[in-house]
């Protein structure tokens, strides 16, 4: 069994990582142009950006328990329920990645110092756990955020 933790923050640029040429991750950001998504070049406040991470298993072995984490940029707000990842478990952090949980368990303090359910705008990071990625296969995980 191979466990790999992949974590990074994102910007509006293309990012590629390689882990011993076995597992690679390629990240791109997109904006909507009419009905289709196109590569993001410049964004302005109010723009929704879609971040897509493509994970490839280039080895001759299946990979298990791949963990992908993305920080939500400070100048952006996560779009509720936009995180996707076929065959992955998705959890969120409200404390810059120190801990993760499912939305119903995330609590923040309101102005009266009372704990209330966190909103999508409170999320600071997203984590996907990909149970298995077969040799030679690739998969995608993604989310959307709005520029403040």
As given in the structure block, the two tokens for residue 20 are 């011993």
Domain range for 106: 4-147
pLDDT digits (tens, 9 = 90+) for 87-143: 899 999 999 999 999 999 999 999 999 999 999 999 999 999 999 999 999 999 999
As given in the structure block, the two tokens for residue 100 are 């993760």
pLDDT digits (tens, 9 = 90+) for 10-63: 433 334 444 555 888 999 999 999 999 999 988 999 999 999 999 999 988 888
- Quick check: 83 pLDDT over 60? yes
As given in the structure block, the two tokens for residue 131 are 């149970």
Cross-sheet strand order for the sheet of 88-93: 4-9, 63-71, 125-133, 88-93
CA distances for 37 relative to 28, 57, 125, 144, 146, angstroms: 11, 25, 23, 12, 15
Report how far residue 22's alpha carbon sits from residue 54's, in angstroms, rounded to the nearest whole number: 14
pTM for the model:
0.85
Domain count within the chain: 1
Indicate which CATH number applies to the domain containing 89.
2.60.40.1170
């Amino acid at each position: 069994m191979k466990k790999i933790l992949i974590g990074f923050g994102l910007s509006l640029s293309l990012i590629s990582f390689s882990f011993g040429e076995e597992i690679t991750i390629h990240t791109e950001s997109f904006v909507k142009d009419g009905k289709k998504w196109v590569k993001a070049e410049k964004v302005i406040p109010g723009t929704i950006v879609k971040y897509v991470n493509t994970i490839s298993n280039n080895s001759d072995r299946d990979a298990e328990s791949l963990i992908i984490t993305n920080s939500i940029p400070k100048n952006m707000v996560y779009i509720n329920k936009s995180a996707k990842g076929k065959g992955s478990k998705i959890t969120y952090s409200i404390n810059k990645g120190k801990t993760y949980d499912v939305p119903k368990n995330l609590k923040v303090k309101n102005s009266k110092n009372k704990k209330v359910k966190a909103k999508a705008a409170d999320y600071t990071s997203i984590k996907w756990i990909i149970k298995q990625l077969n040799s030679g296969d690739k998969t995608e995980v993604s989310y959307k955020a709005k520029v403040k």
